[in-house]
Structure 1
């Protein structure tokens, strides 16, 4: 891992004289180098109508550069006070919470994850580590399918037989591959992580939410988040944490600043680098799905960028070389997903000097 870490681009520090957005976001002008004509065309792609041919619905766009909001725009009927669904962006929030517990000495991500379903003598699942879960490499059988007319473990977990105990449902899956042998994106793995974290800190339900607010949300000024829990008291960290676009931008800024906020270390040193260190992916996986780190995706905003990606077009993209965070929310059909990814890359490129 350390050999890979040396190749990671440096993370930018907060510019001198720019206040941290713990209370209010500072606002600035777009840079002189912005490709204004192309940027305006891309905004038309997103906001010309409630639903556009290229992207479907775009509800919110916040672009932060140099610690200041340089562009903010909302679709008809949406605004800065509204909370937006995270969907799988919640996985990256789960990553942050695991980091906090790791920094406290309560978790070791390289150790086997604690799951009662795997305690039987000789159960090979007992060797699965938190690192393998965070890197979507547990080997557990899973079908991550979002169309309701097809077999889907994620739909069953969130809305069907597994909804009362999402972690128990996911952890009951058999092994399809040896742990660590193959990358496969699975929302179930995150909820196993979420329950393991809850057990490590001795809190679930309301007590776990208090931990989220005290250790992560409140220190960086995130006042809006609404996390969701199942009947067993497990944070549904795979999918459900609503927040304003500006608060998602605060979360992205925390990662862009290496886990430090206004002089206070929130995430342990090296935790952000851990998130953006590439995971082994078998041939074809990265080309089809995109490169992956540890509960963060890679390269959406260009080489060296990393992002929290969610179903239906929810994105928080950190771009170190531009000192940028881009947040987009909307309702983009699956058949337009690749168009939206290209659009995000094109928007980011508008800020790059020719």
Structure 2
């Protein structure tokens, strides 16, 4: 005879079974919104819903600041793209210090053209006077932020910062004049000191390499035409707008404007080691040099931040959560073009986050990155 379970016995057994599991199971995640799902393409290279959720968190989680634009590129194709309210694919975003990496690309092109030399003394006229210790500063020293010049990026009070004085106060009309006039405080090459003034010196060197004229308009045209012909037009950067000061010097450390897709194209150019559709826009050897660690700072190359351990409690990226071969353009208040060649990734995050928010936001960005396997360069 077949025994039938009594309903009361079955209910009791079920309750006992649940109780023995040590409590309720994990809470179900809320369903994804249509906006979250629409941000991810069909061939994203990662689980669609997982990517949609991690991207959605960047826009909706508290404590991350405001993400205004995000693009995830995988193997050269858009895997995810999303904008917050008031921003879209046509919005130009300010680079802040991401411009430094673009300036380094231009310097690399000039080196490739034979107009500049990486390990020769930097061609700054005022440094060539007899007995001036700054004559030993090389182009490499400047690119790696180890010139030894007395530049203070963040000052207390704020108006005493070299950057603030140069960009916004009394020195804004002739930024390179101010930056090159600063005295040395250390031997060239001795220590790392991040400095927007240093990148303006590089931009001034670029202008001098391209024209003998001191006329501001001639200087501006020489640099803007070079960038347009050698980088912006070939790469299809239709939205890119660089700014210049009144002396015609590119504000190469801080002020370039472009939409998110154009920032992604620049990241992709680096991931492909300077090549675009079979044309070598930036010498391959130069891009490889850009992502080598400086002797004075393991997490900095040539105007480019590296995802390498630095032995310090603070790091601008996350070497514990992404390949050490990865690197990034980084701009003030949370602008990033992150490149991971071993994952085929370029990720653009643009927005507004303060220091505490950036730390949390970067961990959420790492959640996106970890969805993609490391597969070799």
TM-score by length of 1: 0.85
Please name the residue that 1:180 is paired with: 189
1:118·1:125 contact (CA, 8 Å) conserved in 2? yes
Task: Say if 2:289 is the partner of 1:280.
Answer: no
- Alignment deviations for residues 30-49 of structure 1 (CA, whole Å, 9 cap, x no partner): 12x43844x4443343222x
2:42·2:48 contact (CA, 8 Å) conserved in 1? no
Task: Say if 2:192 is the partner of 1:171.
Answer: no
Q: Say which structure, 1 or 2, has more relative contact order (CA 8 Å, 6+ apart).
A: 1
Please name the residue that 1:6 is paired with: none
2:57 to 40, 45, 69: 45
- Alignment deviations for residues 35-81 of structure 1 (CA, whole Å, 9 cap, x no partner): 844x4443343222xxx532211110001001100100001110001
Please name the residue that 1:267 is paired with: 282
Please name the residue that 1:4 is paired with: none
Please name the residue that 2:47 is paired with: 34
2:323·2:342 contact (CA, 8 Å) conserved in 1? no
- Alignment deviations for residues 159-195 of structure 1 (CA, whole Å, 9 cap, x no partner): 0121111111111111111000001111110000110
The worse-fitting range, judged by mean Cα deviation, of 292-301 and 39-48 is: 39-48
CA 1:28/1:227 → structure 2, altered by over 3 Å: closer, same or farther?
farther
1:325 to 346, 350, 371: 346
Q: Secondary structure at the match of 1:248?
A: helix
Please name the residue that 1:254 is paired with: 269
2:149 to 115, 140, 149: 140
Please name the residue that 1:334 is paired with: 355
Task: Say if 2:297 is the partner of 1:297.
Answer: no
- Of structures 1 and 2, the larger Rg is shown by 2
1:307 to 316, 325, 328: 328
Task: Say if 2:95 is the partner of 1:86.
Answer: yes
Deviation, 1:98, is 0.6
Structure-to-structure mapping, 1:189-208, within 5 angstroms: 189-202=198-211, 204-208=219-223
Q: Secondary structure at the match of 1:131?
A: helix
TM-score by length of 2: 0.80
Q: Secondary structure at the match of 2:96?
A: coil
Task: Say if 2:244 is the partner of 1:235.
Answer: no
Deviation, 1:211, is 1.1
> What is the rounded CA distance, in whole Å, between the counterparts of 1:147 and 1:348 in structure 2?
36
Deviation beyond 6 Å, 4+ runs, structure 1: none
Q: Secondary structure at the match of 1:205?
A: helix
Instruction: Name the one with the larger helix percent.
Output: 2
> What is the rounded CA distance, in whole Å, between the counterparts of 2:175 and 2:43 in structure 1?
44
Q: Secondary structure at the match of 2:363?
A: helix
The worse-fitting range, judged by mean Cα deviation, of 203-212 and 232-241 is: 203-212
> What is the rounded CA distance, in whole Å, between the counterparts of 2:282 and 2:194 in structure 1?
24
Structure 2 gaps of 5+ residues are 1-40, 212-217, 308-316
Structure 1 gaps of 5+ residues are 1-26
> What is the rounded CA distance, in whole Å, between the counterparts of 1:215 and 1:147 in structure 2?
40
